[in-house]
Amino acid sequence: MSLTQNQRAYLLDLLTTPSPSGFERHAARHWREEATNLAPLVDHDIAGNSWASNRDGDGLHIVIEGHIDEIGLIITSIDDNGFLWIDRIGGWDDQVVVGQRIMIDGRNGPVTGVIGKKAAHLLKPADREKVTTLSDVWIDIGAKDRSAAQAVVEVGDPAVVDVTPLDLPNDLLVSRSIDNRIGSFIALEVLRSVIKRDTPHRVTALAASQEEITMAGAINAAHNLKPDVVIALDVTHATDYPGAEPQVDNKVSLGGGPVLTRGSAVNQRVFEALRDAAKDAAVPFVVQAAGRSTGTDADGFRRSGIASAIGLVSIPNRYMHSPNEMISLTDVAGAIALISTCVANLSDAVDFRD
């Protein structure tokens, strides 16, 4: 299984579109533009969610969801010398930011800058041992002073690390925003497959907002869409690199197949349906346990008050929440095949109650 050239081109377009939590509009518009090429019903809401459906009406309603936001930065202050001070959007390892190039979503278009930090030569010996935090760094856009900086950026502008996706051997892809632009990509590709198969169910692909900060997108979408079944998509930590903990997350490797979550945080019959579909589609998979919560939008749907049967499929990811997240596109293609098969296998009369 592999992605087509068109699928890869569209995925790279999504990955390189800056859209941190709360500022998803650019990636969401790209997603909806692609959705209109394949689905008759495409819409979005005030919470930043976008969705596309194969049809309207009654019957089993299955939502395939991936959040479209990414972690990022936000400008908190512009000083007299034109330097920009920042805070995080989502969960950052502050060390990763040092030395990076930054893309700011300015009111007149993208603005490029670099992370500034006092050079190591100028640090006192004790300071060299300290962990760098965001309060120690700034963005330098080359402005002469505050007035020049304010001509192109302002407080509250979002920013992301400016990196280009990289192909590596063995069908590996490196990029920022894989968490979880990849989930929204898979959701739309599953819908494409569902429409080609003429599946009788009502199926909705959902690109949800704000997972990295509040899960508000999933909660709002649950009330808007009222799904019977939700298959959430996200990334999960691979354990095939030095220092990983397979005893916690199981043996999860890039290229080893999608990861199915089993446990208290998901519906057991949805898990079983996904597991059976993986076998039917000849897709290798790994099972991860979740005794309480998943840390994904699956939890947002569970807490929404809408009684949906929820499953979770994840893509193994190395170096999560960094500019160099790494996944296998083989796992992505496997997830598309697995979920498409699961949707096709479900009966209208299926009962997800224990």
Domains located in the chain, CATH noted: 5-70+176-345 (3.40.630.10), 72-161 (2.40.30.40)
DSSP designation for 43: E
Which among 95, 97, 170 has a CA at the least distance from the CA of 139? 97
For residues 140 and 157, what is the distance between their CA atoms, to the nearest angstrom?
A: 14
pLDDT of residue 349: 80
Is-contact 338 312, C-beta < 8 A? no
CB 45: neighbour CB atoms within 10 A?
Answer: 15
Residue type, 59: G
Q: What is the pTM of this model?
A: 0.96
Q: Which tokens is 323 given?
A: 């500019």
| Pairing status of strand 101-106 against strand 158-161 | antiparallel
pLDDT of residue 160: 98
Which among 165, 234, 223, 187 has a CA at the least distance from the CA of 32? 187
Is-contact 235 312, C-beta < 8 A? no
Task: For the chain, count helices (H), then strands (E).
Answer: 11, 17
- Averaged over successive runs of 10 residues, the pLDDT of the chain (354 residues) comes to 87 96 97 97 97 94 98 98 97 92 96 89 68 91 98 98 97 97 98 93 97 97 97 97 90 98 96 98 97 96 96 98 97 98 91 86
Which among 138, 137, 161, 141 has a CA at the least distance from the CA of 152? 141
Sheet containing strand 166-168, strands side by side: 166-168, 172-175, 325-328
CB under 8 A, 24+ apart: contacts of 165-173: 165/12, 165/15, 165/16, 166/324, 168/326, 170/254, 170/255, 170/328, 171/2, 171/255, 171/328, 171/329, 171/330, 172/254, 172/255, 172/326, 172/327, 172/328, 172/329, 173/326, 173/327, 173/328, 173/329
CA distances from 248 to 19, 159, 287, 289, 290 (A): 31, 33, 12, 9, 10
Q: Which tokens is 125 given?
A: 């010996």
| Pairing status of strand 259-263 against strand 286-290 | parallel
DSSP helix/strand/coil, 279:
helix
Which among 298, 314, 300 has a CA at the least distance from the CA of 215? 300
pLDDT of residue 84: 98
Q: Which tokens is 151 given?
A: 């001509």
Nearest 5°: the CA angle 346, 218, 351 is 25
